[in-house]
């Protein structure tokens, strides 16, 4: 038995070596071909146009808030408030330090995790942040998110109190902080004017949870090593949920007429959803996490087996998002991948373009049919969205300034008065931007747009200026992730399911931390 296993492993190793050698030969031949030269010339032309464009100046140039805010009275006042809060927070930590050093919690962390105290702390932060998304939908409660966030915040207090090596969060005020502060203020205001205050308070707690996750990650990640720990756990979460998605496909998922037009997609199987209960929610999660998982794979040394294995492992979440049959997810992932490749190394664009064209003949008919329904108003889900958007526009004529209140409860109460066609009952607007405007009014909408844009812009800035290769890769991942979820938001309300909201702010915390760490490492 042992000899057979050894023989099989030897043959497998020889096969892998042969495949690797063949792939390397094909790659070298293509890179030296005239076709690659032509494609690269086209890429360089558009890259040069982008370098001289106003878009690059907006994304990478120094913004007005960063240029003028430090000298303004508003900055000094707000900075004083933030510093006062952090001073109070630090005082609590100092008072707790003596009792925390030898506490049972600290001893438990030391027993479970290896390495320094700080590494144990970061490992636990990463584990809890990602474990949220592994719990199956049937066993999930939104209360878990709040409990986990409170646990992480308490852990941060323990870490700051018990270890001098844990840095306190910075107080540098910038456009991201300002827009996030304004967004939080609009959430509070909308609760008071809501047509369903109970639901508004419920959703406000989800946002509170999300902000806590974001802030803890921002304050905790201090080095490339920290990002690799977080990226490793995100990679593991993708693999676990992808395997479950494939298991669902093998065992069979019943096709749901409420999710798919079964008339135009007769041969399409049931859409997988893994742990997130809905295929669109799962696709949103994949688009948010996949760039960071890929950045983690690239963090390993070139040419090593581990790096190649991790990159090959990304086939699993790629296959999983195909099995969701989420059209918006496919488009968003394609754009996110293009941004990642462009920022990482634009010379790879022709390679991936050719690979994409070569893969077209192997796409199953069910996926082709799904792609062809994009923009087809004969598709019931597409026409349903158009009817909802039309009703929302009528609704906004009256509620554009104040909105109807945070959460979908107020939307469900008011929308039927303005419904169009067969959309008399709708859980939400099926467009993230419109939902923000309907719920929060113009203030909330503008603050959300500002927050999202600033996060994307910060990621572009870090990817273009940072000298640390590891942090740069995670900044590129942030830009791709945030851009991808914005594109999905054109067709879906991404925060209807709280776990997707948590995932967004986890990625936001990583983007903010990457900018801070990248800025310091680049000096």
**Model confidence pLDDT, tens digit, residues 424-472:** 678 889 999 999 999 999 999 999 999 999 899 889 988 887 668 889 9
> Which pLDDT score, from 0 to 100, does residue 433 have?
93
Which band of pLDDT confidence, cut at 50, 70 and 90, is reported for residue 479? very high
302-326: per-residue pLDDT in tens?
A: 888 889 899 999 999 999 999 999 9
Given the structure tokens 């949220």, which residue do they identify? 132
Residue in 205, 202, 86, 103 with CA at minimum distance from that of residue 147: 205
Using a pLDDT cut of 90, give the percent of the chain over it: 37
pLDDT at 327 over 80: yes
- Average the pLDDT over each of 16-20, 101-105, 381-385, 387-391 and give the range with the smallest value: 101-105
44-72: per-residue pLDDT in tens?
A: 665 565 555 555 555 655 554 455 455 55
Section 201-220 average pLDDT: 89
Encoded tokens for 188 = 């509070």
Which band of pLDDT confidence, cut at 50, 70 and 90, is reported for residue 171? very low
- Parse the chain into domains and list their residue ranges: 70-168, 189-522
501: exposed, middle or buried (Cβ count in 10 Å: 0-12, 13-18, 19+): buried
C-alpha distances out from residue 11 to 6, 7, 18, 238, 251, Å: 9, 6, 10, 30, 32
Cα-to-chain-centroid distance, residue 521: 24
Encoded tokens for 96 = 């707790």
Return the higher-pLDDT residue of 218 and 76: 218
- How does the average pLDDT of the chain come out, rounded? 80
Q: Determine the length of the chain.
A: 523
- Average the pLDDT over each of 103-112, 174-183, 263-272, 368-377 and give the range with the smallest value: 103-112
pLDDT at 213 over 80: yes
pLDDT at 244 over 80: yes
Encoded tokens for 485 = 């979820």
d(CA 47, CA 51): 6
Using a pLDDT cut of 70, give the percent of the chain over it: 72
Q: How far apart are the first and last CA of the chain?
A: 59
């Amino acid at each position: 038995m042992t000899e057979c296993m050894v023989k099989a492993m030897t043959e497998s190793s020889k096969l892998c070596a042969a495949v690797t050698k063949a792939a390397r030969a094909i790659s070298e031949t293509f890179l030296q071909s005239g076709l690659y030269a032509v494609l690269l010339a086209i890429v360089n032309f558009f890259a040069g146009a982008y370098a001289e464009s106003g878009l690059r100046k907006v994304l990478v140039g120094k913004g007005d808030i960063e240029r003028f805010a430090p000298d303004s009275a508003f900055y000094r006042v707000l900075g004083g408030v933030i510093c006062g809060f952090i001073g109070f927070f630090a005082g609590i930590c100092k008072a707790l330090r003596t009792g925390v050093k030898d506490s049972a919690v600290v001893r438990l962390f030391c027993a479970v995790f290896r390495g320094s105290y700080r590494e144990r702390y970061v490992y636990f932060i990463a584990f809890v942040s990602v474990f949220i998304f592994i719990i199956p939908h049937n066993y999930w409660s939104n209360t878990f998110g709040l409990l986990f966030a409170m646990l992480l915040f308490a852990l941060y207090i323990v870490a700051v109190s018990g270890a001098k090596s844990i840095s306190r969060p910075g107080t540098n005020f910038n456009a991201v902080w300002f827009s996030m502060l304004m967004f939080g203020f609009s959430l509070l205001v909308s609760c008071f004017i809501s047509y369903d205050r109970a639901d508004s308070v419920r959703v406000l707690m989800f946002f509170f949870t999300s902000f806590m996750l974001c802030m803890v990650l921002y304050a905790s990640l201090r080095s490339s090593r920290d990002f690799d720990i977080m990226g490793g756990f995100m990679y593991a979460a993708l693999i676990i949920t992808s395997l479950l998605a494939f298991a669902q496909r093998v065992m069979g998922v019943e096709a749901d007429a409420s999710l798919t037009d079964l008339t135009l997609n007769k041969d399409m199987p049931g859409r997988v959803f893994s742990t997130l209960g809905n295929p669109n929610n799962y696709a949103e999660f994949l688009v948010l996490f996949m760039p960071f998982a890929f950045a983690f794979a690239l963090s390993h040394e070139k040419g090593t087996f581990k790096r190649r294995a991790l990159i090959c492992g990304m086939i699993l979440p790629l296959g999983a998002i195909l099995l969701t049959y989420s059209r918006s997810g496919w488009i968003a992932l394609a754009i996110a991948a293009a941004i990642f490749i462009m920022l990482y190394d634009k010379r790879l664009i022709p390679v991936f373009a050719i690979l994409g064209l070569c893969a077209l003949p192997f796409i199953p008919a069910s996926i082709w049919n799904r792609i062809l329904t994009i923009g087809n108003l004969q598709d019931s889900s597409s026409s349903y969205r158009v009817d909802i958007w039309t009703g929302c526009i009528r609704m906004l004529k009256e509620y554009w300034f104040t909105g109807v209140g945070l959460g979908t409860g107020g939307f469900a109460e008011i929308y039927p008065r303005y419904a169009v066609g067969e959309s008399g009952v709708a859980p939400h607007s099926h467009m993230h931007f419109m939902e923000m405007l309907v719920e929060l009014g113009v203030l909330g909408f503008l603050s959300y747009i500002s927050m999202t844009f600033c996060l994307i812009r910060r990621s572009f800035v870090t990817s273009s200026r940072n000298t640390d290769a590891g942090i740069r890769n995670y900044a590129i991942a942030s830009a791709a992730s945030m851009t991808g979820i914005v594109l999905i938001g054109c067709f879906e309300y991404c925060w209807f399911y709280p776990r997707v909201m948590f995932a967004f702010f986890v990625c936001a915390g990583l983007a903010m931390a990457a900018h801070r760490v990248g800025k310091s490492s680049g000096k």
